[in-house]
Amino acid sequence: MTTSPAKRRVDPEKAAGRRNQVLEAAAVCFARSGFHGASMSEISKQAGMSAGHIYNYFDGKNAIILAFVDAHSEYVSDMLSNLGSLEDPLQALVDNAERHVNDTLDPQPWHVSLEMYAEASRNPDIAERLRAHEDSARGQLMALVKRGRERRNLAVDDVLLDSRVDTMIAYFHGLTVRALHRPDMNRAGLVEAFQVSMRALLMT
Amino acid sequence: MTTSPAKRRVDPEKAAGRRNQVLEAAAVCFARSGFHGASMSEISKQAGMSAGHIYNYFDGKNAIILAFVDAHSEYVSDMLSNLGSLEDPLQALVDNAERHVNDTLDPQPWHVSLEMYAEASRNPDIAERLRAHEDSARGQLMALVKRGRERRNLAVDDVLLDSRVDTMIAYFHGLTVRALHRPDMNRAGLVEAFQVSMRALLMT
Protein backbone atom coordinates (compact mmCIF):
# COMPACT_ATOMS: atom_id res chain seq x y z
CA MET A 1 0.00 0.00 0.00
CA THR A 2 1.37 3.38 -0.97
CA THR A 3 -1.03 5.72 0.83
CA SER A 4 0.13 9.20 1.75
CA PRO A 5 0.57 10.03 5.48
CA ALA A 6 -2.58 12.18 5.29
CA LYS A 7 -4.58 9.23 3.97
CA ARG A 8 -3.15 6.80 6.55
CA ARG A 9 -4.75 8.81 9.36
CA VAL A 10 -8.26 8.04 8.01
CA ASP A 11 -10.14 5.13 9.62
CA PRO A 12 -10.28 2.44 6.86
CA GLU A 13 -13.99 1.67 7.26
CA LYS A 14 -14.90 5.34 7.36
CA ALA A 15 -12.68 5.94 4.31
CA ALA A 16 -14.45 3.17 2.34
CA GLY A 17 -17.80 4.74 3.25
CA ARG A 18 -16.61 8.16 2.11
CA ARG A 19 -15.28 6.75 -1.15
CA ASN A 20 -18.67 5.16 -1.81
CA GLN A 21 -20.37 8.44 -0.96
CA VAL A 22 -18.25 10.16 -3.62
CA LEU A 23 -18.81 7.37 -6.18
CA GLU A 24 -22.59 7.48 -5.66
CA ALA A 25 -22.65 11.26 -6.09
CA ALA A 26 -20.43 10.95 -9.16
CA ALA A 27 -22.85 8.39 -10.65
CA VAL A 28 -25.67 10.95 -10.43
CA CYS A 29 -23.52 13.69 -11.97
CA PHE A 30 -22.15 11.43 -14.73
CA ALA A 31 -25.69 10.38 -15.66
CA ARG A 32 -26.73 14.07 -15.77
CA SER A 33 -23.68 15.67 -17.43
CA GLY A 34 -21.53 12.86 -18.83
CA PHE A 35 -18.01 12.02 -17.70
CA HIS A 36 -16.66 14.83 -19.79
CA GLY A 37 -19.19 17.42 -18.61
CA ALA A 38 -19.37 16.59 -14.88
CA SER A 39 -17.01 18.82 -12.88
CA MET A 40 -15.38 18.11 -9.51
CA SER A 41 -17.39 21.02 -8.10
CA GLU A 42 -20.67 19.43 -9.33
CA ILE A 43 -19.61 16.11 -7.76
CA SER A 44 -18.61 17.78 -4.50
CA LYS A 45 -21.94 19.63 -4.29
CA GLN A 46 -23.87 16.39 -4.99
CA ALA A 47 -21.85 14.46 -2.38
CA GLY A 48 -22.27 17.18 0.22
CA MET A 49 -18.50 17.16 0.75
CA SER A 50 -15.96 19.88 0.01
CA ALA A 51 -13.73 19.36 -3.03
CA GLY A 52 -10.75 19.39 -0.63
CA HIS A 53 -12.31 16.55 1.37
CA ILE A 54 -12.91 14.53 -1.83
CA TYR A 55 -9.21 14.90 -2.72
CA ASN A 56 -8.42 12.86 0.43
CA TYR A 57 -9.96 9.87 -1.34
CA PHE A 58 -9.45 10.54 -5.07
CA ASP A 59 -6.71 12.45 -6.89
CA GLY A 60 -9.29 14.03 -9.21
CA LYS A 61 -12.07 13.22 -11.65
CA ASN A 62 -9.87 10.81 -13.59
CA ALA A 63 -9.34 8.74 -10.44
CA ILE A 64 -13.11 8.68 -9.85
CA ILE A 65 -13.74 7.48 -13.41
CA LEU A 66 -11.05 4.81 -13.00
CA ALA A 67 -12.73 3.66 -9.77
CA PHE A 68 -15.96 3.25 -11.78
CA VAL A 69 -14.20 1.17 -14.42
CA ASP A 70 -12.63 -0.99 -11.69
CA ALA A 71 -15.95 -1.49 -9.89
CA HIS A 72 -17.60 -2.58 -13.15
CA SER A 73 -14.79 -4.99 -13.84
CA GLU A 74 -15.08 -6.52 -10.38
CA TYR A 75 -18.82 -6.98 -10.88
CA VAL A 76 -18.34 -8.78 -14.23
CA SER A 77 -15.45 -10.87 -12.94
CA ASP A 78 -17.40 -12.03 -9.86
CA MET A 79 -20.40 -12.93 -12.02
CA LEU A 80 -18.27 -14.94 -14.47
CA SER A 81 -16.43 -16.75 -11.63
CA ASN A 82 -19.76 -17.66 -10.15
CA LEU A 83 -21.21 -18.92 -13.45
CA GLY A 84 -17.97 -20.74 -14.28
CA SER A 85 -18.01 -22.64 -10.99
CA LEU A 86 -21.39 -24.25 -11.75
CA GLU A 87 -21.82 -27.81 -13.03
CA ASP A 88 -23.02 -26.76 -16.53
CA PRO A 89 -21.59 -23.29 -17.19
CA LEU A 90 -23.24 -22.93 -20.63
CA GLN A 91 -26.69 -23.61 -19.23
CA ALA A 92 -25.84 -21.21 -16.38
CA LEU A 93 -25.05 -18.46 -18.92
CA VAL A 94 -28.37 -19.08 -20.70
CA ASP A 95 -30.24 -19.16 -17.38
CA ASN A 96 -28.58 -15.85 -16.44
CA ALA A 97 -30.53 -14.12 -19.24
CA GLU A 98 -33.12 -12.48 -17.02
CA ARG A 99 -30.54 -10.99 -14.68
CA HIS A 100 -28.50 -9.86 -17.67
CA VAL A 101 -31.44 -8.13 -19.36
CA ASN A 102 -32.60 -6.50 -16.12
CA ASP A 103 -29.09 -5.32 -15.23
CA THR A 104 -28.70 -3.78 -18.70
CA LEU A 105 -32.10 -2.07 -18.72
CA ASP A 106 -31.75 -0.82 -15.10
CA PRO A 107 -28.24 0.55 -15.32
CA GLN A 108 -26.36 0.49 -12.03
CA PRO A 109 -23.75 3.13 -11.17
CA TRP A 110 -20.92 0.65 -11.77
CA HIS A 111 -22.04 -0.23 -15.29
CA VAL A 112 -19.88 0.42 -18.29
CA SER A 113 -21.90 2.84 -20.36
CA LEU A 114 -21.50 4.21 -23.84
CA GLU A 115 -20.08 7.30 -22.13
CA MET A 116 -17.28 5.20 -20.69
CA TYR A 117 -16.25 3.98 -24.14
CA ALA A 118 -16.51 7.50 -25.53
CA GLU A 119 -14.30 8.75 -22.69
CA ALA A 120 -11.80 6.01 -23.50
CA SER A 121 -11.44 7.44 -27.00
CA ARG A 122 -10.23 10.73 -25.47
CA ASN A 123 -8.42 9.49 -22.38
CA PRO A 124 -5.55 6.99 -22.69
CA ASP A 125 -5.60 6.09 -18.95
CA ILE A 126 -9.24 5.06 -19.17
CA ALA A 127 -8.68 3.28 -22.49
CA GLU A 128 -5.79 1.25 -21.04
CA ARG A 129 -7.69 0.28 -17.90
CA LEU A 130 -10.83 -0.61 -19.87
CA ARG A 131 -8.80 -2.71 -22.29
CA ALA A 132 -7.01 -4.56 -19.46
CA HIS A 133 -10.29 -5.36 -17.70
CA GLU A 134 -11.93 -6.36 -20.96
CA ASP A 135 -9.07 -8.71 -21.87
CA SER A 136 -9.36 -10.30 -18.46
CA ALA A 137 -13.17 -10.70 -18.67
CA ARG A 138 -12.87 -12.07 -22.20
CA GLY A 139 -10.29 -14.61 -20.95
CA GLN A 140 -12.66 -15.73 -18.19
CA LEU A 141 -15.53 -16.06 -20.66
CA MET A 142 -13.35 -18.01 -23.14
CA ALA A 143 -12.32 -20.49 -20.42
CA LEU A 144 -15.92 -20.87 -19.28
CA VAL A 145 -17.21 -21.49 -22.83
CA LYS A 146 -14.36 -23.88 -23.61
CA ARG A 147 -14.97 -25.97 -20.50
CA GLY A 148 -18.72 -25.98 -21.11
CA ARG A 149 -18.34 -27.05 -24.74
CA GLU A 150 -15.80 -29.78 -23.91
CA ARG A 151 -18.27 -31.11 -21.35
CA ARG A 152 -20.84 -31.39 -24.17
CA ASN A 153 -18.36 -32.78 -26.74
CA LEU A 154 -18.72 -29.70 -28.99
CA ALA A 155 -15.98 -28.23 -31.21
CA VAL A 156 -13.51 -25.99 -29.30
CA ASP A 157 -11.08 -24.84 -32.01
CA ASP A 158 -9.56 -21.40 -31.44
CA VAL A 159 -11.25 -19.52 -34.30
CA LEU A 160 -14.67 -20.86 -33.37
CA LEU A 161 -14.24 -20.05 -29.66
CA ASP A 162 -12.87 -16.56 -30.40
CA SER A 163 -15.68 -15.74 -32.81
CA ARG A 164 -18.52 -17.13 -30.71
CA VAL A 165 -17.26 -15.23 -27.65
CA ASP A 166 -16.71 -11.97 -29.58
CA THR A 167 -20.22 -12.28 -31.02
CA MET A 168 -21.64 -12.75 -27.50
CA ILE A 169 -19.68 -9.75 -26.19
CA ALA A 170 -20.86 -7.69 -29.19
CA TYR A 171 -24.41 -8.51 -28.20
CA PHE A 172 -23.75 -7.53 -24.55
CA HIS A 173 -22.29 -4.16 -25.61
CA GLY A 174 -25.02 -3.59 -28.17
CA LEU A 175 -27.84 -4.17 -25.72
CA THR A 176 -26.40 -1.39 -23.56
CA VAL A 177 -26.53 0.97 -26.56
CA ARG A 178 -30.04 -0.26 -27.40
CA ALA A 179 -31.25 0.33 -23.83
CA LEU A 180 -30.30 4.00 -24.13
CA HIS A 181 -32.41 4.35 -27.30
CA ARG A 182 -35.37 2.19 -26.24
CA PRO A 183 -35.45 1.93 -22.45
CA ASP A 184 -39.04 0.58 -22.61
CA MET A 185 -38.24 -2.66 -24.48
CA ASN A 186 -40.25 -5.73 -23.45
CA ARG A 187 -38.04 -7.57 -20.95
CA ALA A 188 -39.63 -11.02 -21.19
CA GLY A 189 -39.31 -10.85 -24.98
CA LEU A 190 -35.64 -9.82 -24.79
CA VAL A 191 -34.90 -12.67 -22.37
CA GLU A 192 -36.45 -15.14 -24.81
CA ALA A 193 -34.50 -13.73 -27.79
CA PHE A 194 -31.28 -13.65 -25.74
CA GLN A 195 -31.72 -17.31 -24.85
CA VAL A 196 -32.49 -18.33 -28.45
CA SER A 197 -29.35 -16.59 -29.66
CA MET A 198 -27.07 -17.75 -26.80
CA ARG A 199 -28.19 -21.37 -27.05
CA ALA A 200 -27.25 -21.31 -30.74
CA LEU A 201 -23.85 -19.68 -30.13
CA LEU A 202 -22.91 -21.76 -27.08
CA MET A 203 -24.51 -25.16 -27.60
CA THR A 204 -24.22 -25.85 -31.35
CA MET B 1 -36.08 23.78 -52.51
CA THR B 2 -35.13 26.73 -50.32
CA THR B 3 -31.61 27.48 -51.50
CA SER B 4 -30.22 30.96 -51.01
CA PRO B 5 -29.52 33.07 -54.16
CA ALA B 6 -25.77 32.54 -53.58
CA LYS B 7 -26.25 28.77 -53.58
CA ARG B 8 -28.53 28.79 -56.62
CA ARG B 9 -25.69 30.13 -58.78
CA VAL B 10 -23.62 26.94 -58.18
CA ASP B 11 -23.75 24.25 -60.91
CA PRO B 12 -25.64 21.32 -59.24
CA GLU B 13 -23.19 18.60 -60.34
CA LYS B 14 -20.21 20.65 -59.31
CA ALA B 15 -21.92 21.40 -55.99
CA ALA B 16 -22.50 17.69 -55.33
CA GLY B 17 -18.83 17.02 -56.05
CA ARG B 18 -17.77 19.79 -53.67
CA ARG B 19 -20.09 18.50 -50.95
CA ASN B 20 -18.51 15.05 -51.30
CA GLN B 21 -15.04 16.60 -51.18
CA VAL B 22 -15.95 18.22 -47.85
CA LEU B 23 -17.55 15.01 -46.49
CA GLU B 24 -14.48 12.94 -47.41
CA ALA B 25 -12.17 15.44 -45.73
CA ALA B 26 -14.46 15.53 -42.69
CA ALA B 27 -14.33 11.71 -42.49
CA VAL B 28 -10.54 11.88 -42.17
CA CYS B 29 -10.73 14.62 -39.53
CA PHE B 30 -13.51 12.89 -37.55
CA ALA B 31 -11.51 9.65 -37.48
CA ARG B 32 -8.46 11.59 -36.26
CA SER B 33 -10.03 14.04 -33.79
CA GLY B 34 -13.61 12.88 -33.17
CA PHE B 35 -16.75 14.84 -34.07
CA HIS B 36 -16.30 16.97 -31.01
CA GLY B 37 -12.61 17.65 -31.52
CA ALA B 38 -12.50 18.24 -35.31
CA SER B 39 -12.71 21.95 -36.11
CA MET B 40 -14.00 23.61 -39.29
CA SER B 41 -10.47 24.91 -39.84
CA GLU B 42 -9.06 21.34 -39.65
CA ILE B 43 -11.74 20.18 -42.12
CA SER B 44 -11.10 23.09 -44.47
CA LYS B 45 -7.34 22.41 -44.43
CA GLN B 46 -7.91 18.70 -45.14
CA ALA B 47 -10.37 19.48 -47.97
CA GLY B 48 -8.01 22.04 -49.52
CA MET B 49 -10.91 24.53 -49.55
CA SER B 50 -11.30 27.77 -47.62
CA ALA B 51 -13.72 27.73 -44.67
CA GLY B 52 -15.73 30.40 -46.53
CA HIS B 53 -16.02 28.14 -49.56
CA ILE B 54 -17.21 25.24 -47.35
CA TYR B 55 -19.96 27.47 -45.93
CA ASN B 56 -21.44 27.60 -49.48
CA TYR B 57 -22.31 23.92 -49.05
CA PHE B 58 -22.74 23.43 -45.28
CA ASP B 59 -23.91 25.84 -42.60
CA GLY B 60 -21.24 24.57 -40.21
CA LYS B 61 -19.88 21.45 -38.57
CA ASN B 62 -23.30 20.44 -37.30
CA ALA B 63 -24.61 20.37 -40.88
CA ILE B 64 -21.65 18.22 -41.92
CA ILE B 65 -22.33 15.75 -39.09
CA LEU B 66 -26.03 15.65 -40.07
CA ALA B 67 -25.03 14.92 -43.69
CA PHE B 68 -23.02 11.95 -42.35
CA VAL B 69 -25.99 10.66 -40.40
CA ASP B 70 -28.21 11.03 -43.50
CA ALA B 71 -25.72 9.25 -45.75
CA HIS B 72 -25.50 6.35 -43.32
CA SER B 73 -29.27 6.13 -43.14
CA GLU B 74 -29.56 6.06 -46.93
CA TYR B 75 -26.99 3.24 -47.09
CA VAL B 76 -28.87 1.12 -44.52
CA SER B 77 -32.25 1.85 -46.09
CA ASP B 78 -31.07 0.89 -49.59
CA MET B 79 -29.56 -2.33 -48.27
CA LEU B 80 -32.76 -3.29 -46.41
CA SER B 81 -34.94 -2.46 -49.45
CA ASN B 82 -32.73 -4.64 -51.55
CA LEU B 83 -32.78 -7.58 -49.10
CA GLY B 84 -36.54 -7.16 -48.57
CA SER B 85 -37.25 -7.40 -52.29
CA LEU B 86 -35.71 -10.88 -52.55
CA GLU B 87 -37.71 -14.11 -52.63
CA ASP B 88 -36.57 -15.32 -49.17
CA PRO B 89 -35.64 -12.20 -47.17
CA LEU B 90 -34.55 -14.14 -44.05
CA GLN B 91 -32.11 -16.28 -46.00
CA ALA B 92 -30.94 -13.07 -47.74
CA LEU B 93 -30.18 -11.50 -44.32
CA VAL B 94 -28.20 -14.59 -43.29
CA ASP B 95 -26.38 -14.66 -46.64
CA ASN B 96 -25.53 -10.96 -46.17
CA ALA B 97 -23.29 -11.90 -43.21
CA GLU B 98 -19.99 -11.57 -45.02
CA ARG B 99 -20.80 -8.12 -46.37
CA HIS B 100 -22.06 -7.07 -42.95
CA VAL B 101 -18.90 -8.23 -41.14
CA ASN B 102 -16.61 -6.68 -43.74
CA ASP B 103 -18.52 -3.38 -43.71
CA THR B 104 -18.29 -3.25 -39.92
CA LEU B 105 -14.60 -4.11 -39.74
CA ASP B 106 -13.67 -1.77 -42.65
CA PRO B 107 -15.61 1.29 -41.56
CA GLN B 108 -16.71 3.54 -44.39
CA PRO B 109 -17.00 7.31 -43.95
CA TRP B 110 -20.79 7.10 -43.87
CA HIS B 111 -20.88 4.56 -41.06
CA VAL B 112 -22.51 5.32 -37.77
CA SER B 113 -19.70 5.07 -35.28
CA LEU B 114 -19.60 5.08 -31.52
CA GLU B 115 -18.60 8.73 -31.85
CA MET B 116 -21.91 9.47 -33.58
CA TYR B 117 -23.88 8.04 -30.65
CA ALA B 118 -21.69 9.87 -28.17
CA GLU B 119 -22.29 13.11 -30.11
CA ALA B 120 -26.04 12.45 -29.97
CA SER B 121 -25.85 12.47 -26.18
CA ARG B 122 -24.56 16.06 -26.31
CA ASN B 123 -26.36 17.37 -29.40
CA PRO B 124 -30.18 17.27 -29.63
CA ASP B 125 -30.24 17.88 -33.43
CA ILE B 126 -28.07 14.84 -34.02
CA ALA B 127 -30.01 12.78 -31.46
CA GLU B 128 -33.33 13.61 -33.14
CA ARG B 129 -32.07 12.84 -36.66
CA LEU B 130 -30.40 9.61 -35.52
CA ARG B 131 -33.57 8.52 -33.73
CA ALA B 132 -35.76 9.27 -36.78
CA HIS B 133 -33.48 7.31 -39.11
CA GLU B 134 -33.22 4.46 -36.62
CA ASP B 135 -37.00 4.24 -36.23
CA SER B 136 -37.33 4.10 -39.99
CA ALA B 137 -34.65 1.41 -40.42
CA ARG B 138 -36.16 -0.60 -37.55
CA GLY B 139 -39.56 -0.40 -39.27
CA GLN B 140 -38.06 -1.68 -42.52
CA LEU B 141 -36.34 -4.54 -40.70
CA MET B 142 -39.55 -5.44 -38.79
CA ALA B 143 -41.53 -5.62 -42.05
CA LEU B 144 -38.84 -7.73 -43.69
CA VAL B 145 -38.64 -10.18 -40.78
CA LYS B 146 -42.44 -10.40 -40.50
CA ARG B 147 -42.85 -11.18 -44.20
CA GLY B 148 -40.00 -13.70 -44.09
CA ARG B 149 -41.41 -15.49 -41.04
CA GLU B 150 -44.96 -15.57 -42.47
CA ARG B 151 -43.53 -17.16 -45.59
CA ARG B 152 -42.06 -19.91 -43.38
CA ASN B 153 -45.15 -20.24 -41.16
CA LEU B 154 -43.27 -19.07 -38.05
CA ALA B 155 -44.77 -17.09 -35.13
CA VAL B 156 -45.09 -13.35 -35.83
CA ASP B 157 -46.61 -11.97 -32.61
CA ASP B 158 -45.61 -8.39 -31.76
CA VAL B 159 -43.49 -9.08 -28.66
CA LEU B 160 -41.54 -11.82 -30.42
CA LEU B 161 -40.91 -9.70 -33.53
CA ASP B 162 -39.92 -6.62 -31.47
CA SER B 163 -37.54 -8.59 -29.29
CA ARG B 164 -35.91 -10.61 -32.07
CA VAL B 165 -35.36 -7.44 -34.12
CA ASP B 166 -34.01 -5.45 -31.12
CA THR B 167 -31.64 -8.32 -30.32
CA MET B 168 -30.41 -8.31 -33.95
CA ILE B 169 -29.92 -4.54 -33.88
CA ALA B 170 -28.11 -4.82 -30.51
CA TYR B 171 -25.71 -7.25 -32.17
CA PHE B 172 -25.18 -4.88 -35.15
CA HIS B 173 -24.38 -1.96 -32.82
CA GLY B 174 -22.23 -4.11 -30.58
CA LEU B 175 -20.08 -5.42 -33.42
CA THR B 176 -19.22 -1.81 -34.28
CA VAL B 177 -18.03 -1.26 -30.70
CA ARG B 178 -16.16 -4.58 -30.77
CA ALA B 179 -14.43 -3.67 -34.05
CA LEU B 180 -12.94 -0.58 -32.40
CA HIS B 181 -11.47 -2.70 -29.60
CA ARG B 182 -10.36 -5.70 -31.67
CA PRO B 183 -10.00 -4.64 -35.31
CA ASP B 184 -8.03 -7.84 -36.08
CA MET B 185 -10.89 -10.28 -35.33
CA ASN B 186 -11.08 -13.36 -37.60
CA ARG B 187 -13.61 -12.44 -40.28
CA ALA B 188 -14.54 -15.94 -41.44
CA GLY B 189 -15.16 -16.93 -37.82
CA LEU B 190 -17.35 -13.88 -37.20
CA VAL B 191 -19.38 -14.62 -40.34
CA GLU B 192 -19.99 -18.18 -39.10
CA ALA B 193 -21.01 -17.00 -35.60
CA PHE B 194 -23.22 -14.26 -37.09
CA GLN B 195 -25.02 -16.82 -39.23
CA VAL B 196 -25.49 -19.27 -36.33
CA SER B 197 -27.01 -16.51 -34.22
CA MET B 198 -29.14 -14.95 -37.00
CA ARG B 199 -30.55 -18.28 -38.15
CA ALA B 200 -31.69 -18.95 -34.57
CA LEU B 201 -33.26 -15.50 -34.17
CA LEU B 202 -34.89 -15.34 -37.61
CA MET B 203 -35.80 -18.92 -38.50
CA THR B 204 -36.91 -20.51 -35.21
pLDDT, tens only, A83-108: 989 989 999 999 999 988 888 887 66
Q: Measured between CB atoms, does B135 come within 8 Å of chain A? A: no
Judge whether residue A114 has pLDDT over 50: yes
Q: What is the pLDDT of residues A51-75, one digit of tens each?
A: 999 999 999 998 998 888 888 888 8
pLDDT of residue B1: 45
Do the Cβ atoms of B45 and B13 come closer than 8 Å? no
Domain that holds residue B21: 1-58
Q: Check whether residue A177 and residue A107 sit in a common domain.
A: yes
pLDDT of residue A154: 96
pLDDT of residue B108: 59
Distance CA A75, CA A84 (A): 14
Tally of domains within chain B: 2
Q: Check whether residue A154 and residue A119 sit in a common domain.
A: yes
Which positions in chain B touch A172 (Cβ < 8 Å)?
A: 174
* A176-192: average pLDDT: 87
Q: Check whether residue A28 and residue A76 sit in a common domain.
A: no
Q: Check whether residue A55 and residue A77 sit in a common domain.
A: no
Q: Check whether residue A17 and residue A76 sit in a common domain.
A: no
Which positions in chain B touch A159 (Cβ < 8 Å)?
A: 186, 188-189
Q: Measured between CB atoms, does B132 come within 8 Å of chain A? A: no
Last residue of one domain, picked from the residues B39, B58, B77: B58
For B192, which of A163, A170, A185 is closest by C-beta distance? A163
pLDDT of residue B71: 82
* B165-184: average pLDDT: 86
Do the Cβ atoms of B159 and A188 come closer than 8 Å? yes
* B167-183: average pLDDT: 85
Tell me which amino acid residue A99 is.
R
Q: What is the CATH number of the domain that holds B183?
A: 1.10.357
Lowest mean pLDDT among B46-60, B112-126, B176-190: B112-126
Judge whether residue A1 has pLDDT over 50: no
Distance CA A24, CA A22 (A): 5
Q: Check whether residue B4 and residue B92 sit in a common domain.
A: no
Q: Count the neighbouring beta carbons within 10 Å of the beta carbon of residue B167.
A: 23
Judge whether residue B30 has pLDDT over 50: yes
Distance from CA of A41 to the nearest CA of B (A): 20
% of chain A with per-residue pLDDT over 90: 51
Last residue of one domain, picked from the residues B41, B58, B75: B58
Q: Check whether residue B107 and residue B6 sit in a common domain.
A: no
pLDDT of residue A113: 63
A69 versus B200: which is more confidently predicted? B200
Judge whether residue A26 has pLDDT over 80: yes
Do the Cβ atoms of A171 and A141 come closer than 8 Å? no
Last residue of one domain, picked from the residues B14, B30, B58: B58
* A170-176: average pLDDT: 87
Q: Check whether residue A43 and residue A86 sit in a common domain.
A: no
pLDDT of residue A176: 82
Judge whether residue B160 has pLDDT over 80: yes
Cβ contacts below 8 Å, chain A against chain B, sum to 136
Q: Check whether residue A70 and residue A55 sit in a common domain.
A: no
Q: Check whether residue B38 and residue B130 sit in a common domain.
A: no
Q: Check whether residue B101 and residue B50 sit in a common domain.
A: no
Which positions in chain A touch B172 (Cβ < 8 Å)?
A: 174
Tell me which amino acid residue A79 is.
M
Which positions in chain A touch B141 (Cβ < 8 Å)?
A: none
Q: What is the CATH number of the domain that holds B19?
A: 1.10.10.60
B193 and A159 within 8 Å at the Cβ level: the answer is no
Q: Check whether residue A55 and residue A139 sit in a common domain.
A: no
Do the Cβ atoms of B119 and B65 come closer than 8 Å? yes
Distance CA B69, CA B127 (A): 10
Give the ipTM of the model, two decimals please: 0.79
Which residues, numbered 4 to 63 in chain A, qualify as contacts with chain B under a Cβ-Cβ cut-off of 8 Å? 34, 37
